[in-house]
Amino acid sequence: MVDNWFAGEGDDFRLLGTRCAACACVFFPREDGFCRNPGCAGGELAEVPLSRRGRVWSYTDGRYRPPAPYVSDPELPWEPYTLIAVELEAERMVVLGQAVPGVAVTDLEVGMEVEVVPGVLNEDNGTTWTTWHWRPVEVGA
C-alpha cells in the first residue's frame, strides 16, 4: 500500500530508504520531500537500500485485534502478531516491523540478530499486500 519501501527477491530483499546528497543522512520510511537534518540546507534525496541484518532493540506482541486501518478478518479468531524493533548498525537507526509468522515473543531476546525478509500483510479478492518481516537468523549448525 506504500510504494517503494522495499524491493528485491530472496536474499536480495531490502528495505529502501533515501539518502541526502548534501549531508548523507538516511531516512526510513523514505523521505522524498526534504532533508530533516536541521544543519543541512537540503540536497537531492536518492534511494538507498538499508542493511539486511540488525539486532533486536525490543519486541512485543498484539494480543488484541488492532483497529482499522489494520486489515484483519473479523470472522476469524485473532492470531497475535509479534513486533520487533531492530537496530541497524551501519545506519544507526531502529526500524519496527512484524516478525515472520510463527515467531513469538518467547523466541526472542534483546540483542538477537535478525534479518529482513519479504512477507504478506494481507490478501483480499486476488490482491496481495506485501510487506517486510523480521526473521531471527539461525545460529549454529
Partner 1 sequence: MTTEVAVLGAGMHPWGKWGRGFVEYGVAAARAALADAGIAWRDVGSIVGADTVRGGYPGYVAGATFAKALGWQGARVASVYAACASGAQAIGTARTQILAGMADVVLVVGADAAPKGFFRPAGGDRPDDPDWLRFRVLGATNPAYFGLYARRRMAVHGDTLDDFAQVKVKNAAAGALNPNARYRKPVAVEEVAASAVVADPLRLLDICATSDGAAALVLSSMDFARRHGAADPVRIRAVSTVTPTYPTTVLDLPDIATDSAAVVAPADGTFRASIARAAYEEAGIGPEDISLAEVYDLSTALELQWYEDLGLCGEGEGAKLLRDGVTASGGRVPVNTSGGLASFGEAVPAQAIAQVCEVTWQLRGTAGARQIEGARVGVTANQGLFGHGSSVVAVR
Number of residues that bind partner 1 (CB under 8 A): 46
At position 133, the amino acid (one-letter code) is: H
CB 56 within 8 A of CB 43: no
Q: Which of residues 53-112 bind partner 1 (CB under 8 A)?
A: 57-64, 66-72, 81, 83, 85, 90-98, 105, 109-111
Measured from the CB of residue 10, what is the shortest distance to partner 1 in angstroms? 22
68 contacts: CB under 8 Å, gap ≥ 6: none
Does residue 123 bind partner 1 (CB under 8 A)? no
Measured from the CB of residue 78, what is the shortest distance to partner 1 in angstroms? 11
Length of the chain: 141
Does residue 121 bind partner 1 (CB under 8 A)? yes
Which positions from 6 to 45 touch partner 1 by CB under 8 A, shown as an x/- string?
A: -----------------xxxxxxx------xxxx------
Strands 14-20 and 26-27, by their bridges, are antiparallel
- Site of grid cell 531516512: 27
Measured from the CB of residue 8, what is the shortest distance to partner 1 in angstroms? 18
CB 132 within 8 A of CB 100: no
- Which element (helix H / strand E) includes 15? strand 14-20
- The contact set with partner 1 (CB under 8 A) reads 1-2, 23-29, 36-39, 57-64, 66-72, 81, 83, 85, 90-98, 105, 109-111, 121, 131
